[in-house]
A = this chain, B = another copy of it.
Amino acid sequence: MTSLNTLGEIGLIERIRQETPSPAQSSTIQGIGDDAAVFAIDEQTLGLLSTDMLVEGIHFDLTYVPLRHLGFKAVAVNVSDIAAMNGVPTQLTVSLGLSSRFTVEAVDELYAGIRAACAAYNVDLVGGDTTSSRSGLVLSIAVIGRVDKDHITYRRTAQPNDVICVTGDLGAAYLGLQLLEREKQEYLANPEMQPAISEERAYLIQRQLRPDGRTDIVHELRDLDIVPTAMIDISDGLASELLHLCTQSGTGAVIFDENIPIDDQTYLAADEFKISPITAALNGGEDYELLFTIPPQEFEKLKNHSRITAIGYMTDADGRAPSDRVILATKAGQQTPIRAQGWTAGS
Contact = CB atoms under 8 A, between A and B. Distances in A.
Interface of A: 1-7, 9, 12-13, 15-16, 19-21, 23-25, 27-28, 30-32, 36-37, 39, 41-42, 47, 49-59, 90-91, 93, 95-100, 102-105, 107-108, 111, 115, 118-119, 122-136, 138, 140, 142, 144, 146, 344-347
A105 B108 CA distance: 40
Given A55-B132, A134-B136, A125 B32 contact: yes
22 contacts: A2-B103, A2-B105, A4-B107, A6-B104, A12-B104, A16-B107, A16-B111, A20-B115, A24-B124, A25-B91, A25-B124, A27-B91, A28-B124, A31-B125, A32-B125, A50-B93, A51-B129, A53-B95, A54-B131, A100-B345, A142-B142, A144-B144
A133 B55 contact: yes
A132 B345 contact: yes
Contact of A130 (B12, B59, B118, B130): B12
B55 A105 contact: no
Given A55-B97, A130-B13, A115 B21 contact: yes
Given A93-B37, A98-B345, A131 B51 contact: no
A53 B129 contact: yes
A142 B52 CA distance: 11
Contacts of A52: 95, 129
* Oligomer copy total: 2
Given A19-B115, A136-B135, A347-B100, A9 B57 contact: no
Contacts of A99: 345-347
Contacts of A16: 107, 111, 128, 130
A12 to B, nearest CB: 6
Given A20-B125, A144-B144, 14 more contacts: A4-B102, A19-B111, A27-B91, A36-B127, A37-B126, A41-B42, A49-B126, A49-B127, A51-B127, A51-B129, A55-B133, A56-B134, A97-B138, A99-B345
B41 A130 contact: no
A219 B16 CA distance: 30
A102 to B, nearest CB: 6
B104 A7 contact: yes
Contacts of A41: 41-42, 47
